[in-house]
Amino acid sequence: MEHVRALLRAGRWSDLEELAQHSSPVEGLHILAVLALARQQPKEALDCIQRSLELEASFSQRNTLAVCLLACGRSQEAADLLHQLLEEQPENADLWFNLARVEVGTQALRQALRCRPDWPVAELLLAERLLEAGECEEALLWVRRNLEVPGAGLTEARIVFRLGRYRDCARLCLGLLQRHPEDQAARQWLFQAVLAAGEFDRDSRLADELEKGLDLPGALLLVPSVWRVWPERIGLLCALLQRDVVADWPLEQWLTSWRRQFRGQPEPCELAEALAVHNFTNEFCFLETAEELQGLEPDHPAYPLYRPLPPGAPASPLVLERHLLEPARERELAKQFEASDQEDPVARQYEESPYPRWRELLNEPPVAGRPDRVLVAGCGTGRHALLCARRYPQAEVWALDLSVASLTYAQRQAERLDLQRVRFLRADLMELERVMQLPLCFDLIESIGVLHHLAEPLQGLRALVSRLAPKGRMRLGFYSRRARRGLEPARRLASALRHLPLRELRARLASELDSEDFAFLAHFKDFYSLSGLRDLLLHERECEYDLSELGRMLEEAGLCFGGFDGLPLSTVDAFVERFGREKLLDLGCWERFEEESPATFRGMYVFWCQASAG
């Protein structure tokens, strides 16, 4: 087959087709299989090689069969066959390498490199495996031998990140971007590294890179710090204002005072327009004085920076779109949903204050393969469900919620982001049997920040479990009592002042932010919109948990814990160092870890679980 490989390397596919025609049937089918593999048609390749094997079963054909099985994702069969072939040729480096593609760990790769030393592809795969196992020092040695190979530089940066050397990682990524300005992966790692470092070298290339990658994870979080260093980069600030809610107290204060000046001397500009759309998203929660509001009429250019525009008021197309056309579309969409039960205080809260207020989705890489069917229970305004649709592009995604206002926000965003295959339904997750359209079971059920708002969370969890397919998985999110303890003073004050309009209540809370008891509040994104504030401090019904309570609830629902999701790598590393990797699924150890680092689950406990065996 050497001449076949040579033609393949030279890209002479039509010569190969001709060669196949003039070869024996066995040889011809074998060549066609190799060609189909090169063309990324694994099923055709498998078909050809199986037909050739019916005629003759040489070592070379069985080897190609193993590669075809690998390409078709039939890993176990491929591994079994490779083990058989290795008994015949234990010094065959390619066989070891292919085996390494299906077997975890480093053993097969080390064998491959023993048989064929100085093999860049195998060395780089070994570096990746070592990185996965947290053996970073050795990983670095292997990768640094091969830095000229495409992709190796990024692996080096990721290893350096994993070693906690975030500033070095950022420098490496900047170097990569200098050589390959379109490398989005390097840009993304740059942002992650700067975020993890919590500071950055005063290199204006960071601001340049942010401008090119604003939809990458972490980018928008960096804008406030970058803006503090380069305030003249007004474009970056405007991009943030149009895409997300500013959740940075010093920046909000600056914007508030800029708005006051603009109110006095309105000069149409990019920032005024961006702030008008931003403030619509955060429900005009910034602090304001009676003086600023006095005499402010809809035809004043500053009006949409303070309140939603009424119909007919003059404004730019962007402001009209956000202030008038999008809400009108939501009213239209609301007709398709049955009205919600206003008796239920939780439904009423989310009808009045749909949550969360959001604009853009992160640029999440899609995940191949399963799940086929996903349910998002309590989808709110849709960000979560639409992220699922992005993450699982081949899956059917169903999303339900109690609140029509949330669902129409979600449906409008689905239209805008062209993710209309998500099916939104108004339904109570406690009464799934009444939702006739809903499929009977799902491979994945996600419910983040929902069950702890039910009167009976365990019953809600059981209702969801009843729709889980055999071997299905769940991703759940619950409040941590310990992580939210610091909110107590703010909660007490909010509760005492709950008669105030939310904007006034927020101003009152903001006046306390300098005190030790309240400073914590500024770290919660929910502080930066009115619906968020209500969700955070004035919820109609919520319960908080510790990890033993959660463990018991999972057990009672017949579930077992499958690991936390979304924790920063530095947290996982700290846990592994303290308790060992084998304890990652041990909630008792996590409880001790949380005792020692109470802010670990400030976002929430977000974790995977699945039905317990038996």
Ligand X SMILES: C[S@@+](CC[C@H](N)C(=O)[O-])C[C@H]1O[C@@H](n2cnc3c(N)ncnc32)[C@H](O)[C@@H]1O
Residue ranges binding ligand X (CB under 6 A): 346, 350, 355-356, 378-380, 383-384, 400-403, 406, 428-430, 448-450, 453-454, 535
- Give 583's DSSP letter: G
Closer residue to ligand X (CB): 204 or 459: 459
| DSSP run (H or E) holding 414 | helix 404-416
SS3 60: helix
What is the CB-side half-sphere exposure of residue 54 using CA atoms within 13 A? 7
Sign of CA dihedral 274, 524, 545, 508: negative
Query: At its nearest, how many Å lie between ligand X and the CB of residue 351?
Result: 8
Query: At its nearest, how many Å lie between ligand X and the CB of residue 400?
Result: 6
d(CA 203, CA 211): 14
- Residue 356 preceded by cis peptide, ω within 30: yes
Query: At its nearest, how many Å lie between ligand X and the CB of residue 501?
Result: 21
Query: At its nearest, how many Å lie between ligand X and the CB of residue 181?
Result: 35
- Distances from the Cα of 258 to the Cαs of 286, 295, 524, in angstroms? 12, 19, 23
- Give the full edge-to-edge strand order of the sheet including 442-448: 422-426, 396-401, 373-377, 442-448, 468-478, 605-611, 559-564
Closer residue to ligand X (CB): 98 or 406: 406
d(CA 510, CA 393): 42
The CA-CA-CA angle for residues 579, 104, 184, to 5°, reads: 90
Closer residue to ligand X (CB): 27 or 535: 535
Query: At its nearest, how many Å lie between ligand X and the CB of residue 411?
Result: 13
- Distances from the Cα of 292 to the Cαs of 99, 184, 289, in angstroms? 70, 44, 5
Closer residue to ligand X (CB): 122 or 427: 427
Closer residue to ligand X (CB): 251 or 376: 376
Query: At its nearest, how many Å lie between ligand X and the CB of residue 156?
Result: 36
Token pair listed for 365: 């890489």
Closer residue to ligand X (CB): 173 or 399: 399
Query: At its nearest, how many Å lie between ligand X and the CB of residue 1?
Result: 54
Closer residue to ligand X (CB): 42 or 532: 532
What is the C-alpha radius of gyration for the chain, rounded to an integer number of angstroms? Answer: 28
Query: At its nearest, how many Å lie between ligand X and the CB of residue 245?
Result: 13
What is the CB-side half-sphere exposure of residue 172 using CA atoms within 13 A? 24
Query: At its nearest, how many Å lie between ligand X and the CB of residue 445?
Result: 12
| Residue listed under structure tokens 């040579």 | 6
Closer residue to ligand X (CB): 153 or 378: 378
Q: Which residues contact 82 (CB under 8 A, 6 or more apart)?
A: 66, 95, 98, 99, 102
Query: At its nearest, how many Å lie between ligand X and the CB of residue 428?
Result: 4
**Amino acid identity at 162:** R
Closer residue to ligand X (CB): 406 or 413: 406
Closer residue to ligand X (CB): 19 or 444: 444
d(CA 180, CA 417): 29
Token pair listed for 316: 């730019």
The CA-CA-CA angle for residues 380, 385, 387, to 5°, reads: 125
Closer residue to ligand X (CB): 242 or 406: 406
Cα–Cα nearest to 119, from 87, 83, 149? 149
Q: Which residue is nearest to ligand X (CB)?
A: 380
d(CA 237, CA 277): 13
Query: At its nearest, how many Å lie between ligand X and the CB of residue 448?
Result: 4
Phi, psi angles (nearest 5°) of residue 435: -95, 95
Token pair listed for 443: 């491979």
134: left (phi over 0), alpha (psi -120 to 50) or beta: left
Counting every residue, how long is the chain? Answer: 614
| DSSP run (H or E) holding 376 | strand 373-377
Closer residue to ligand X (CB): 162 or 484: 484
Query: At its nearest, how many Å lie between ligand X and the CB of residue 392?
Result: 16
